[in-house]
Structure 1
């Protein structure tokens, strides 16, 4: 049977603290680069979508005031199985 020693306990605590502070320092160093990378990718994606929209707009020039309907809305049917409406009054 093995027993824990004070030296082993202190050594383990120091290793855990070293790893914790190491990760904390490295995250502060690399976070700006990571955020810059993410912002650049988002800008490219949104810029691509905007350029596609601009190209579609140039391909389909419309006169000012012209209205187009792509799809007719479906008429909504009422549900006849709801039952009848009963008016009520609150009693104090």
Structure 2
């Protein structure tokens, strides 16, 4: 139990509070339902990243037609956010 508590406190100390602009955005989106003072932002998610190889897919969606065609077959992806 102590190890879990120490790990939790260490991870909680790695983040930063929201900036005034981010607080205003959260307040505008959620109103009084959420307290922006309790939100912490940290660099990097706990899930890490994944690298994989994939074949070229047909360019059918609008997004795929707008952006240039990818030249590499190897992609590294990671989650944009993690909510705890």
TM range (shorter): under 0.3
Relative to its length, the structure with more strand (as a share) is: 2
Higher relative contact order (CA 8 A, sep 6+): 2
Greater radius of gyration (CA): 1
- Using structure 1 for the length normalisation, give the TM-score: 0.18
More helix by share: 1
